[in-house]
Amino acid sequence: MALFNLGRPNVAKLAGKGDVQGLIRALDYKKDPGVRMEAARELGRFDDDRAVAALDACLDEAREPDARVRKAVAAALEQRKWY
């Protein structure tokens, strides 16, 4: 949780710690689509139902308006053969 108190989430640190819930929260970081793309890529490395659900939700254009993020999400799901 402390990784979010100082602004931009440190996705690499979250991934290194295996913090799936933190990476899911990073998918909601509206200030920077790059953070969301990076979080999506990292979540694709985890075999975790929470990651699948969060990534799947981001395929919806109403939830994730940035096409680049949706593309990263689709790639992450494909990486794990979830999509």
As a three-state string, the secondary structure of the chain is CHHHCCCCCCHHHHHHCCCHHHHHHHCCCCCCHHHHHHHHHHHCCCCCHHHHHHHHHCCCCCCCCCHHHHHHHHHHHHHCCCC
pLDDT digits (tens, 9 = 90+) for 45-66: 999 999 999 999 999 999 999 9
Average pLDDT across the chain, whole number: 91
Q: What is the pTM for the complete model shown? A: 0.87
Say how many Å lie between the first and final Cα of the chain, rounded. 29
The pLDDT value recorded for residue 83 is 52
Q: For the chain, which domains are there?
A: 2-79 (1.25.10.10)
The pLDDT value recorded for residue 30 is 94
Q: What's the one-letter identity of residue 37?
A: M
Decide if pLDDT at 1 tops 50: no
